[in-house]
Amino acid sequence: MKPTDVLKNEHVHIKEMLSILNKILGKIGRGQNVPVEDLLNVLNFIKVFADKCHHGKEENILFPAMEEAGIPRYSGPIGVMLIEHEEGRRYVKAMSEAVEEYKNGSLNALEKFMENAGNYISLLEQHIWKEDNILFNLADENISDRVKMELIEKFEEFEVKEIGEEHKKQLKILQALKEKYYSSR
Ligand SMILES: [Fe+2]
Ligand SMILES: [Fe+2]
């Protein structure tokens, strides 16, 4: 198992949550009721599992190792990935604000949520595609086998330190939302 396999596996779960979010947008668009709790759970998964833990592993561990292997950070593909992580954070922040505004009775809040969530889904889907098909190949080809083993250990340490038990808890929440939304219209 390579460090990029760990990240690719996390991409699978992130994409599952994106498809749940897409289903939720469809429901909101058709005027169906979606519990605020579900929106908050999706947002929390994105913040904790996708951003803090997964993007954290990329930004703090994988990308620096790629840099040490001679791939420049601020020009080229790593720089693009970093910019896209930041862009994603802005959409997530706007989605969180929209949920709060919705709870306070704002009429435009759902529209704001849908617009930012739609942008986030498009951004992340193509971001993940670029990592899976381009960036991670660069990492696999340029990082030595010794460093690859170290990176897997560092990922594990990072996960325990940053989110600990939340990792399992978030996967359980994902599973529950999959059961609820995958089969629904
Ligand atoms: Fe990324
Ligand atoms: Fe990623």
Mean pLDDT of successive 10-residue segments in the chain (185 residues)? 97 98 97 96 98 98 97 89 98 98 93 98 98 97 98 98 96 98 83
How many domains is the chain partitioned into structurally?
Answer: 1
Provide the residues around ligand 2 (an ion) whose CB is within 5 A. Answer: 131
CA distances from 62 to 65, 131, 138, 147, 152 (A): 5, 12, 11, 10, 10
Question: How many CA within 13 A on the CB side of residue 147?
Answer: 16
Question: At 27, which CATH number?
Answer: 1.20.120.520
| Distance from Cα 130 to the centre of ligand 2, integer Å | 9
Ligand number nearest to the C-alpha of 63: 1
pTM assigned to the model: 0.96
Residue-wise burial string across 127-160, b where 16 or more C-beta atoms lie within 10 A, e elsewhere? bbeebbeebbebbeeebeeebbeebeebbeebbe
Domain that holds residue 83: 3-181
Q: What pLDDT shows up at residue 74?
A: 80
| Distance from Cα 106 to the centre of ligand 2, integer Å | 34
| Distance from Cα 66 to the centre of ligand 2, integer Å | 14
Which is it for the CA torsion 115, 129, 158, 77, positive or negative?
Answer: negative
| Distance from Cα 103 to the centre of ligand 1, integer Å | 31
Cα distance between residue 95 and residue 124, in whole Å: 15
Q: What pLDDT shows up at residue 75?
A: 80
Ligand number nearest to the C-alpha of 7: 2
Which is it for the CA torsion 63, 67, 71, 73, positive or negative?
Answer: positive
| Distance from Cα 146 to the centre of ligand 2, integer Å | 22
